[in-house]
């Protein structure tokens, strides 16, 4: 029996997932951050690629990130359905079958790794494969549900894209690539813990052992401050390497001062104060964290542009 004739006997028309539903599996908002940081990693590298190779590299790094997002949605469909923030994702909302998400994730993982290897080099492809494995298996399947340090270690997956961009251009890892990785790695915990402070019910309901759930909110505020302070030398260190310069250093000083002040402010607050103003400081800190990362990488890019114009750089 053909597929069409099978449908002729059906009384109710089933929901037909559109192309957009499958695109949603790839977490487009996360992909945009991946594209930006990978692009910066690739453009600030001392070796330049042909524009077609560079475009392909960024596209397949983004596709690899999207594939790991689809694998995450397949695995986490049960907890996504419980959390308000994620309940409308294609799998928990019933628009796409979990098996389809798995197939899309595995298929795109293979395509992205092979194509990145062909477009650039094997080291970049290997790093992308490791990133997908780390996010889908180490973070999603293992750490997320087992330890409150889940986002600390899992944050590495989000930190790899600029390093992959750098390796795609140069073929090897250097101190600049490691510091760009470390910048996102150290930034991730304060960013997500600030979110967890004002999305408390979500993680509670899903039983995800976020720090706010396991160690309480006071400990979370202390952790945010600790990681924000640890982030300072990483950010300033990156600014004094080959990818930095006076502009990057100035941006890093201002942004880190603002981030530390924000973290101290959160640390000094308690739940009564936070509830009184509906977590205004926590939300402001979360928004600033997004700006923090964007401006840091924008500064690397601006420094590279200045350098090519004979200005900037050390």
Binding site for another protein (CB under 8 A): 3-4, 7, 13, 16-20, 22, 50, 52-53, 55-56, 59, 118-119
* CB under 8 A, 24+ apart: contacts of 96-102: 96/17, 96/21, 96/22, 96/25, 98/74, 99/74, 100/17, 100/22, 101/25, 101/70, 101/71, 101/73, 101/74, 101/77, 102/70, 102/71, 102/74
If the CB atoms of residues 16 and 272 are measured against another protein, the closer one turns out to be 16
Cβ 280 to another protein shortest distance, Å: 41
Min separation Cβ 19 and another protein, Å: 3
CB of 50 to another protein, least distance (A): 5
3-class SS at 27? coil
Residue 247 φ/ψ, nearest 5 degrees: -65, -45
Closest distance of CB 10 from another protein, Å: 10
Q: Which one, 50 or 309, has the nearer CB to another protein?
A: 50
Q: Could you tell me if 190 and 263 are in contact, meaning their C-beta atoms sit under 8 angstroms apart?
A: yes
The minimum distance between CB 219 and another protein, in angstroms, equals: 46
CA distance linking residue 230 with residue 159, whole number of Å:
16
Q: How far is the CB of 30 from another protein (least distance, A)?
A: 19
CA–CA gap between residue 92 and residue 199 (Å, rounded): 19
49 vs 249 by CB, closer to another protein: 49
> Which residue lies nearer to another protein by CB, 56 or 86?
56
Residue closer to another protein by CB (options 17, 313) is 17
Q: Which is nearer to another protein, 165 or 209 (CB)?
A: 165
Q: Is 304 helix (H, G, I), strand (E, B) or coil?
A: helix
Q: From the CB of 162, what's the least distance to another protein, in Å?
A: 22
Q: Is residue 148 a contact partner of residue 134, using CB atoms and an 8 Å limit?
A: no
Helix (H, G, I), strand (E, B), or coil: what is residue 277? coil
Cα–Cα distance for residue pair 95/16, rounded to 1 Å: 8
Contact call for residues 190 and 152 (beta carbons, < 8 A):
no
Which residue lies nearer to another protein by CB, 93 or 178? 93
């Amino acid at each position: 029996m053909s597929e069409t004739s099978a449908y002729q006997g059906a009384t109710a028309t089933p929901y037909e997932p559109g192309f957009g539903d499958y695109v949603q599996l790839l977490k487009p908002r996360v992909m945009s951050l991946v594209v930006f940081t990978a692009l910066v990693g690739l453009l600030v590298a001392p070796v330049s690629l042909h524009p077609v190779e560079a475009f392909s590299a960024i596209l397949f790094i983004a596709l690899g990130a999207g594939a790991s997002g689809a694998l995450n949605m397949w695995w986490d469909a049960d907890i996504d359905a419980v959390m308000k923030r994620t309940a409308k994702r294609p799998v928990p909302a019933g628009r796409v079958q979990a098996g389809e998400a798995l197939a899309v994730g595995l298929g795109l993982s293979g395509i992205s790794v092979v194509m990145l290897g062909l477009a650039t080099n094997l080291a970049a492809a290997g790093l992308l494969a490791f990133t997908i494995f780390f996010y889908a298996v180490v973070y999603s399947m293992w750490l997320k549900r087992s330890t409150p340090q889940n986002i600390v270690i899992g944050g590495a997956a989000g930190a790899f894209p600029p390093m992959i961009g750098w390796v795609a251009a140069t073929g090897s890892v250097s101190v600049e690539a490691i510091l760009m990785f470390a910048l996102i790695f150290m930034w991730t915990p304060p960013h997500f813990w600030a979110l967890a402070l004002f999305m408390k019910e979500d993680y509670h309901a899903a039983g995800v052992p976020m720090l706010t759930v396991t160690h309480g909110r006071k400990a979370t505020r202390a952790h945010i401050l600790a990681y924000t302070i640890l982030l300072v030398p990483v950010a300033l260190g990156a600014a004094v390497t080959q990818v930095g310069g006076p502009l990057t250093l100035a941006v890093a000083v201002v942004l880190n001062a603002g981030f530390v002040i924000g973290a101290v402010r959160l640390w000094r607050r308690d739940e009564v104060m936070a509830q009184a103003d509906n977590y205004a400081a926590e939300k402001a800190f979360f928004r600033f964290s997004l700006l923090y990362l964007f401006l840091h990488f924008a500064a690397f890019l601006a420094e590279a542009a200045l350098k090519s114009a004979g200005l900037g750089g050390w």
